[in-house]
Structure 1
Amino acid sequence: MRQITAILIGAGARGRFVYGAYAMKHPEEMKIVAVAEPDEERRMLAKAEYGLSFDQLYDSWEQVLALPQAADIAIIASHDRMHYGPAMKAIEKGYDILLEKPMSPFAGEVIDMARASREHKRLLAVSHVLRYTPFWSRIKEMITSGEIGEIASVQLSENVGYFHMAHSFVRGSWSRTEEASPMILQKSCHDMDILSWLIDKRCLKVSSYGSLLHFRPENAPQGSTLRCMDGCAVERECPYSAVRIYEEDETHEWSRFITNDLTPKGIHNALHEGPFGRCVYHCQNDVVDHQVVNMEFENGTTASFTMSGFSHDISRTVQIMGTRGEIRGYMERNEIMLYPFGKEAVHIPVDAEAGGHGGGDEGLVREFLREVRKGNKGGGQTLTSAEVSVQSHLMAFAAEQSRLEGGSSVMITDMSAQKTCSVR
């Protein structure tokens, strides 16, 4: 097995905890040979974790991509609005690319990246990790085999989790559309991609409703303060308490995303000084906290999608209704039931895999590296290539446009023609 060398652009949560972690766990498969990251503390962590020297560290993607090609692949895990520049330059330089989702918050940039990967014959894989999970792969196999006949309709729900909602989309980096992406794109392009993959037809039109219902200043409880640690009278009762979510959780499941210093003092200081100690009702956030999307595909197939930040857990549930049977699934439990019409229900076994997104994180990297070793080029060979991902992104753009226009139907063909359109 040939070891693939990589430059990592963006050493934040996904960069370190997914792609960097894969390189450390499987050094025979991948070696990170350079890191571009503007935050000095993260650069020093990367230096230690990947055994780099100072001359392998860069402040920006412009610096590392100004050099002759330094590795086989470029992993781009920077913020949403910092994907297009490094991706286009890396393609030009001859890198195969693994790109964090979403590709871009601008439709024109999404289309440009797909075109560039095709014209330069470079792999550009997008991190739609759900396709690489045993759960969704098994469901896809069942559909392809014809067990439920032709798909008539699909219902998919993404339960974001109240604590995840508060962390990422109220207090965190994706709380404002102007600074990142609409939530339907940032969080749920995964789901648009899964629907597109399962139905395997072209999406024609989309309508959507949603709003920022709860996390608003007027909903702040009486006695609350601007920060959870400023003497808030209801902090002990509040499910969104930063003290409860970060300081009192000994597993550091979420505190590792707010500071690199996981000592009690480090977490305490982060809550006192940083954005994650703010009251969820006073965060200047503007993305939705719930949204529904209706879609029509070729030949009349329909799909509905519900995303909500108000759920007790982080999970996805799906119901796929075909002309000869039905599939129901609960991703986080790896539970799939097949209901063939006129026959007994069948429990479908799924081999659970460890790791983020039900094993999809590792599956994505593993399959991408395999394609790089095979030398496949042209942008169309990977399961989640840029060419494939354009449709799911356009579906998300159309959903947000519809929501902003009061739920009117938006044609995907119209969206595709607007090469410079963006959703703000």
Structure 2
Amino acid sequence: MSSLINNTKNLWRRSISTKDSPYGIHLAHPDPTRLGLNHIVTIAVVGCGQRGKSYAKYALSSPESCRIVAIAEPRPKTRKHFAALHKVDITLVFNTWQELHAASAETINTVGKRLADAVIIAVQDHLHPEVTAAFAEQGYHILCEKPMATSIQDCIKMQTAVTTAGIIFGMGHVMRYSPYSREITEIVRSSALGELINVVQVEPVGHYHFAHSYVRGNWSNEKESSFSLMTKCCHDIDLICHWFSPATPTRISSFGSLRHFHKYGKPKGAGDAERCLQCPIEKDCAYSAKKIYLDPVSHGNTGWPAETIVDGLPDIENVTEALNNGAYGLCVYESSNDVCDNQVVNIEFSNGSTASFTMVAFTFAICERQTRMHFTQGEIIGDMNSFTVTDFRTRTTRVHRPKNEGSHGGGDLGLIRAFVQAVRENRQDYLGTDVNEILKSHLTVFAAERSRKEGSVVDCFVFEAEAKKGA
């Protein structure tokens, strides 16, 4: 640790005496202040997997805006690759978030500076509250991947920690930040089509995407993660609530089940095979792990989802080993998953407007939301790539094709760009939301799941009051 502190002191001195340190490191002051338009926001990334990498791409494409200066990642090959890609100084590369946090604490105590301006938290969902509270207490601005947490109590604890620290807080509700969603939101806010009365939204998860993440993957078991409406669709509910704001949800109902991905759904021809690579009917199975991971890699596609199942290069050898020995090679009908593969949610708002949302696994489209919005004077129909706006008064229809800027229709880029700007200017409003609104939309998701499990219509006001009282 002493070598880290000595190195940090030297880097700090160089960053004062020169325009930029040789490592691009700026050691931030503990007090959150306006950093200035020309300030390059420095970021520590906790969790260098798919989501951490997605947000960090902005530092590579816009180095004049932000830089990754510290990381924490337990997987050695992933850690090494990420550090090399972002040219992170070796003394600021850590195995765990606890090591990064301890180094930050010592640096603050010794030098009087933080290691960075902000932290991206992209670890497993159940770790979000603990990691957020730890770095918020040190004064870091935080961008946390969705969902906020996996229990109501932990969500409220996070809200308390963020509020107490007075930091900028962003949530990985990337749906809000794509050009597609932003253009629709502008129309809603302008009242150009009158008042918004009803929204119908469908989240087509995708048959093999659902198998990857919610049958074989990290979000397959509610006890170990959370229910699928939360882990997959909390940003859909958030966006719907955002469109109807300032009206708030008053009543909610939900229905859903694990309809297909369990043992009695297994084709008879599969026999006793528990792994795809040993299955006699693998070629005829829509959920074949060979089709999902191995075949794309053999054709040169080493991106998602294959890159997520190995540490390091997703080549034929590594992927084959993962399928022979890990969860991603298991038959989807032999896995330990228990989360819903289809669910519907109905919401009534305080102004009398309504919304319905459907999540379904069994689609060829992957996450290309289908949206119908009904206004008093018109309607919007979209699919995340384009949308049509029809004005009843003029009987005209106009097609909008917003620019697609990458994953989630540009939502990932839009969020990290907004977060960096918010940190630089110390302006929470640049994110278009705050921790209180984020908590409220999460409570709406928890209320929907209570409705599904209890078979009741849930009063959102009563549910929120009880949740906060019990926290």
Q: TM-score, normalised by structure 1?
A: 0.94
Matched, 1:203 2:249: yes
Mark the structure with the bigger radius of gyration: 2
Q: Deviation digits for residues 314-338 of structure 1, max 9, x if unmatched? A: 110111111111111111xx22112
Q: Which residue of 1 aligns with 2:194?
A: 149
1:319 corresponds to: 372
State the Cα distance separating 1:375 from its structure 2 match: 2.1
1:22-64 Cα offsets, whole Å, 9 max, x none, are 2222222221111112222322222222222432122222221
Say if 2:44 and 2:70, in contact at 8 Å, map to a contact too.
yes
**1: CA distance, partners of 2:354 / 2:138:** 42
- Partner in structure 2 of residue 343 of structure 1: 394
Tell me, in whole angstroms, the C-alpha distance in 2 between the residues paired with 1:262 and 1:105: 30
The equivalent of 1:245 in structure 2 is 292
**Cα-to-partner distance string for 1:373-404 (whole Å, 9 max, x where unaligned):** 1122xx55522432221122111101111111
Mapping of residues 272-291 of structure 1, within 5 Å: 272-291=324-343
**In 2, distance between residues paired with 1:348 and 1:91?**
44
Residues 83-232 of structure 1 mapped to structure 2, 5 A cutoff: 83-200=128-245, 201-224=247-270, 225-230=273-278, 232=279
Structure 1 residues 282 and 384, CA, compared in 2 at 3 Å: closer, same or farther?
farther
For 2:359, the equivalent position in structure 1 comes to 307
- 2:275–2:330 Cα contact (<8 Å) kept: yes
Output the amino acid matched with 2:144: L
Secondary structure class of the residue paired with 2:119: strand
Matched, 1:372 2:417: no
Partner of 1:388: 437
Deviation at 1:106, TM superposition (A): 1.3
Question: Does the Cα contact within 8 Å between 1:107 and 1:420 map onto a contact in 2?
Answer: no
User: 1:273, 1:345 → 2: CA distance?
Assistant: 58
Contact 2:202–2:357, Cα closer than 8 Å, also in 1: yes
- The answer (yes or no) to whether the contact 2:254–2:449 under 8 Å persists in 1 is yes
- Structure 1 residues 380 and 85: CA distance shift in structure 2, 3 A: farther
1:38 to 61, 74, 83: 74
Q: Within 1, Cα distance between the matches of 2:470 and 2:77?
A: 36
Q: Distance in 1 between matches of 2:429 and 2:377?
A: 32
Residue 236 of structure 1, CA deviation: 0.4
Contact 2:48 2:73 in 1 (8 A): yes
Matched, 1:419 2:471: no
What's the counterpart of residue 409 of structure 2?
358
In 2, the alpha carbon distance for the partners of 1:34 and 1:419 equals 35
Shift of 1:134: 1.1
Matching residue of 1:60: 96
**1:294-344 Cα distance to aligned partner (Å, 9 max, x none):** 00111211110000001111110111111111111111xx22112222432
SS in 2 for 1:207: strand
CA distance, structure 2, for counterparts of residue 254 and residue 112 of structure 1: 33
Which structure dedicates a bigger proportion of its chain to helix? 2
Q: Deviations over 1:281-301 (max 9, x none)?
A: 011100000000000111211
Would the aligned equivalents of 2:419 and 2:430 in 1 still touch at CA under 8 Å?
no
What is the TM-score with the length of structure 2 in the denominator?
0.85
Paired residue type of 1:78: V
Name the structure 2 match of 1:75: 120
For 1:155 and 1:56, the matched residues in 2 are separated by: 47
CA separation in 2, counterparts of 1:101 and 1:59? 22
For 1:269, the equivalent position in structure 2 comes to: 321
The SS at the match of 1:155 is strand
Q: Distance in 1 between matches of 2:87 and 2:180?
A: 35
1:106–1:421 contact (8 Å) kept in structure 2: no
Query: How far does the alpha carbon of each residue in 1:121-158 deviate from its partner, in whole angstroms, 9 at most, with x for none?
Result: 21011011111111111111111121221122111110
Which digits, 9 at most, give the CA deviation of each residue in 1:246-300, with x for residues without a partner?
1111323321111222221121111111111111101110000000000011121
Whole-Å separation in 2 of the counterparts to 1:335 and 1:7: 35
The letter of the residue matching 2:448 is A
Specify which of 452, 460, 464 is matched with residue 403 of structure 1: 452
Specify the code of the residue in structure 2 equivalent to 1:261. Answer: L
The alpha-carbon deviation at position 119 of structure 1 amounts to: 3.0
Structure 1 residues 50 and 240, CA gap change in structure 2 (3 angstroms):
same
Query: After TM superposition, which residue ranges in structure 1, 4 or more long, deviate above 4 angstroms?
Result: none
Instruction: State the distance in 1 between where 2:283 and 2:139 align.
Output: 54
Unaligned 5+ runs, structure 2? 1-37, 109-113
Distance of 2:469 and 2:45 partners within structure 1: 28
- Three-state SS of the structure 2 residue aligned to 1:248 is helix
Q: Where does the alignment leave 5 or more consecutive residues of structure 1 unmatched?
A: none
| Deviation digits for residues 169-203 of structure 1 (CA, Å, limit 9, x no counterpart) | 00110000111111101100110011011111111
What letter matches 2:449 in structure 1? E
Q: Count residues with an aligned counterpart.
A: 415
| Partner SS for 2:445 | helix
Distance 2:394 2:429 in 1: 39
Q: CA deviation at 1:420?
A: 7.8
In structure 2, how many angstroms separate the alpha carbons of the residues matched to 1:339 and 1:298? 26
- Which of 364, 381, 385 is residue 328 of structure 1 equivalent to? 381
Match of 2:33 in 1: none
Aligned counterparts of 2:374 and 2:315: Cα–Cα separation in 1: 50
User: Secondary structure, in 3 states, of the residue corresponding to 2:42?
Assistant: strand
1:236 is matched with which residue? 283
Write the letter of the residue equivalent to 1:4.
Answer: V
